[in-house]
A and B are shown apart, each in its own frame.
Chain A
Amino acid sequence: ETGVTQTPRHLVMGMTNKKSLKCEQHLGHNAMYWYKQSAKKPLELMFVYSLEERVENNSVPSRFSPECPNSSHLFLHLHTLQPEDSALYLCASSVGGSSYEQYFGPGTRLTVT
């Protein structure tokens, strides 16, 4: 595997379910990001981890819970989501902060029913 991978690619869940999104980067980067991309809206930064420490939390509801067990893996735990949370969730990584370009995974298309 190369670059940034995300699983699953598609996920349908009910509002009472609990699920997790997984991201893995094979680039040796130190920073990892979660973004939300909704139709007709710009990419929204959700969380940033640098060297496994959360450095940004962009006013995201508590029903989204990130976890970064090491510098190569990032998870987004989901519980009691709302239909408006349906979106494409993108993971990205970079060498360091924003002075470095971010490399994105293919995303997880989430549908909340």
Chain B
Amino acid sequence: EDQVTQSPEALRLQEGESSSLNCSYTVSGLRGLFWYRQDPGKGPEFLFTLYSAGEEKEKERLKATLTKKESFLHITAPKPEDSATYLCAVWGGGSNYKLTFGKGTLLTVNP
């Protein structure tokens, strides 16, 4: 069974203080790893898809990286508007449709 563990559960940063969120996974045949952002009262919003170890993707202050066991979401010089819950999900070999999600990391960026 695919498993995803995200750490830390919650993270408080000062504006401008860079940090990283971790997503560790076990999956039989990783076909894709996804990062989503979820604001309170809203559905998750797609950020990135990573397909193979060594791959990196960037969007504004966010950069996602992937190894064979984990993914990191690096946040550089965060702003208060980056405050949200960040979700990681994996797509394994057992289904063409099923994503297995982690519980998420709640990020709060204080001004």
For window 38-60 of B, CB contacts with A under 8 Å fall at 41-46, 49
In the complex, besides A45-B98, A48-B97, A92-B43, 16 extra interface pairs with C-beta distance below 8 angstroms are: A31-B97, A40-B103, A42-B102, A42-B103, A43-B99, A55-B96, A58-B98, A97-B97, A98-B96, A98-B99, A99-B91, A102-B99, A105-B43, A106-B42, A107-B41, A107-B42
Check if B80 is an interface residue, CB within 8 A of chain A: no
- A90–B87 Cα gap in the complex (Å)? 14
- By size class, the interface of chain B is 20 to 34
Question: Within the complex, what minimum Cβ distance (angstroms) separates B21 from chain A?
Answer: 15
Pair A106/B99 contact, Cβ less than 8 Å = no
Residues of A within 8 A of B98 (CB): 45, 48, 56, 58, 98
